[in-house]
Amino acid sequence: MPKMKSNRGAVKSFKKTASGKFKRRKAYKSHILSSKTTKRKRQLRKATMLSKANHKKVKLMIQ
């Protein structure tokens, strides 16, 4: 049986940390930024951790 292919979109979107968690970018930061406040845009810059509920799915997509 051939090897499973990893999901290339997921590989580019999530980064595994040393502790085994996944880092992700926040949504709503790509366009129509004029209607969003400076504070909101600043907070969207920071990366955040993936929720525990999605860990298993992302792990499968990345390997």
Structure tokens at 15: 């980064």
Q: Report d(CA 22, CA 29) in Å as an integer.
A: 19
Question: Does residue 63 register a pLDDT over 90?
Answer: no
| 55 closest CA partner among 24, 23, 22, 26 | 22
Tokens of 25: 């970018």
Q: Over 90: is that where the pLDDT of 59 sits?
A: yes
* Dihedral sign of CA atoms 36, 40, 46, 48 in order: negative
pTM for the whole thing?
0.80
- Rounded-to-integer distance, Cα 22 and Cα 13, Å: 10
What is the structure's pLDDT at 1?
84
15-56 per-position pLDDT tens digit: 999 999 999 999 999 999 999 999 999 999 999 999 999 999
- Tell me the per-residue pLDDT of 2-17, one tens digit each, with 9 for 90 and over: 988 999 999 999 999 9
